[in-house]
């Protein structure tokens, strides 16, 4: 088991040239009962700029142009313009890796009034208030920003945070008109330009993040481990851009977690774990063909319980033989009703996705689990006879309601049954992480580069992406 899991980490570390060093993550003495706090990577100040209050232009390709005022970084970027109707939770939303490459438009008129909290960590070493160490959205658009904030957890303003992270932000625009356009035309490519007049000749510079494998940008480049002191389960997580609260939801329920890169051949090591979990992530799921193949092999060769969330749910469906479709403008909110077709109960859910599973293409041994009561799109699938299911919404809900958090309990109940059944045939089987494994693996995502805007990704080109991957 150890050679299978540790080998990629050693390979990644050999080429790792970022300032963050692996030795900072190692512990002098191994233990599986506690958990050493994970060290947050120092933000790259190469991206940081002073707060810009210049003129700002938000331009939708082949659409309207909105003039406002900058309150973030002085940086010009391009990305996919999407909107969220969430009233609160902007620190969690902006650090959600699922928003990578997107310009996030908030329908809530006032954003930033409770500031940005600190990077404190909980007893498991997980970020308490953020869903990843860095701001993930390519840009931020609001009607009005609160430059003065008030909250007991706040340590800086939204504008200060955006400037530190190198992310441009625009206020003073009519977000109602923007959302009306996006609802009618669908999610569209857009640009944020700071301190410059709009030039129609620049339209060719719009970059479509859907043409880029964004999952590669946000996934760990080598395995990392988070221990749980309250149970003896061991779950393998495919990190497609996993949120901190997904890890917390597993660890808090007694499951130690070892997270792998999104394209890791998980079927080769699944027998060393009590369950496999597929995380959320950004972009088009069809970019992850290696992951789909590995999941197909996993379901062919193992009876291990599997749960997927968001992108993980879509990858599970693709591995089962179904297809995914691009939604017109997606679902991004904290108050979307989803109906459980097995119980008839409705749950208010947190969502962030632009793709959905086409249930008409599901094989006969699968069925629809949840359905969206707003647009009738799919919100979950479940295998008819095996402990495998996925949800399009986020049961961990950070931010958002916790109506569906019981699904983690459902998953871990199947993990417990699987672990018990395996013990009957292999009495000495013990999948708990070994002290040596805990010592050798990192405690944080390895080699994940912060967002730099889709404009910069375009400049990098294919050769630049390969060089960045080698450097990571």
| Residues with a known catalytic role | 310, 394, 396
Q: Are 274 and 284 in contact (CB under 8 A)?
A: no
Residues near 199 by Cβ (< 8 Å), separated by ≥ 6?
A: none
What's the token pair of residue 170?
């625009």
Pairing of strands 188-194, 154-156: unpaired
Residue 37, preceding bond cis, omega within 30 degrees?
Answer: no
DSSP state, residue 337: E
Q: Burial-class residue 58 by CB neighbours within 10 Å (0-12, 13-18, 19+).
A: buried
Are the C-beta atoms of residues 154 and 116 closer than 8 Å to each other? Answer: yes
User: At which residue do the structure tokens 């295998």 appear?
Assistant: 383
Strand partners, 261: 239
**How many C-beta atoms lie closer than 10 Å to residue 262's C-beta?**
28
Beta strands 388-391 and 306-309 are: parallel
Output DSSP code: residue 172.
Answer: S
Token pair, residue 42, equals 């120092």
- Those residues with Cβ within 8 angstroms of residue 171's Cβ, 6 or more apart along the chain or in another chain: 68, 69, 71, 141, 142, 143, 144, 145
Tell me the C-alpha distance between 219 and 247, whole Å: 14
Q: Which ranges of 75-227 would DSSP assign to H, the alpha helix?
A: 90-94, 158-165, 175-185, 214-218
DSSP per residue, 199-214: -GGGGGG---GGGS-H
Gap between the Cα atoms of 291 and 317, Å rounded: 12
Q: How far apart are alpha carbons 161 and 142 in whole angstroms? A: 15
**Those residues with Cβ within 8 angstroms of residue 376's Cβ, 6 or more apart along the chain or in another chain:** none
**Entry field: residues in the chain:** 472
Q: Answer for the pair 272, 419: CB distance below 8 angstroms, yes or no.
A: no
């Amino acid at each position: 088991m150890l050679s299978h899991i540790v080998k990629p980490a050693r390979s990644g570390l050999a080429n790792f040239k970022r300032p963050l060093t692996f030795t900072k993550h190692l512990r002098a003495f191994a233990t599986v009962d506690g958990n050493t706090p994970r060290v947050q990577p120092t933000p790259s100040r190469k991206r940081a700029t002073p707060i810009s209050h210049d003129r700002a232009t938000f331009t939708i390709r082949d659409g309207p142009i909105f003039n406002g005022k900058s309150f973030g970084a002085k940086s010009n970027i391009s990305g996919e313009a999407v909107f969220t109707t969430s009233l609160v939770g902007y620190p969690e939303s902006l650090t959600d890796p699922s928003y990578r490459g997107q310009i996030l438009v908030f329908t809530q008129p006032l954003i930033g009034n409770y500031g940005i909290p600190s990077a404190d960590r909980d007893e498991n070493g997980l970020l308490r208030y953020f869903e990843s160490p860095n701001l993930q959205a390519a840009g931020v658009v609001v009607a009005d920003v609160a430059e003065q904030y008030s909250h007991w957890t706040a340590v800086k303003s939204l504008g200060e945070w955006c400037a530190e992270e190198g992310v441009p932000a625009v206020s003073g625009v009519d977000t109602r008109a923007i959302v009306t356009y996006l609802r009618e035309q669908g999610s569209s490519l857009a640009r944020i330009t700071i301190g410059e007049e709009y030039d129609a000749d620049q339209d060719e510079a719009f970059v479509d993040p859907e043409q880029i494998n964004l999952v590669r940008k946000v996934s760990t480049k080598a395995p990392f481990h988070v221990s749980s002191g309250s149970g003896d389960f061991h779950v393998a997580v495919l990190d497609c851009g996993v949120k901190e609260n997904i890890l917390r939801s597993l660890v808090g329920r007694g499951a130690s977690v070892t997270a792998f890169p999104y394209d890791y051949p998980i079927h080769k090591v699944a027998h060393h774990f009590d369950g496999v979990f597929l995380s959320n992530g950004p972009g088009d799921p069809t970019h992850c063909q290696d992951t789909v193949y590995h999941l197909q092999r996993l379901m062919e060769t193992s009876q291990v319980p599997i749960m997927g969330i968001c992108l993980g749910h879509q990858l599970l469906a693709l591995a089962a033989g179904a297809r995914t479709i691009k939604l017109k403008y997606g679902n991004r909110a904290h108050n979307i009703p989803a109906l459980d077709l097995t119980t008839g109960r409705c749950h208010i859910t947190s969502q962030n996705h632009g793709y959905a599973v086409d249930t008409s293409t599901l094989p006969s041994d699968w069925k629809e689990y949840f359905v969206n009561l707003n647009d009738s799109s799919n919100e979950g699938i479940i295998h008819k006879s095996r402990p495998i299911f996925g949800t399009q919404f986020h049961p961990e809900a950070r931010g958002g309601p916790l109506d569906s958090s019981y699904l983690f309990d459902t998953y871990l109940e199947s993990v417990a049954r699987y672990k018990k059944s395996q013990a009957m045939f292999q009495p000495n089987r013990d999948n708990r992480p070994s002290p040596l494994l805990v010592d050798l693996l990192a405690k944080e995502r390895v080699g994940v580069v912060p967002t730099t805007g889709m404009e910069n990704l375009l400049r990098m080109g294919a050769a630049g992406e390969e060089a960045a991957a080698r450097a990571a």
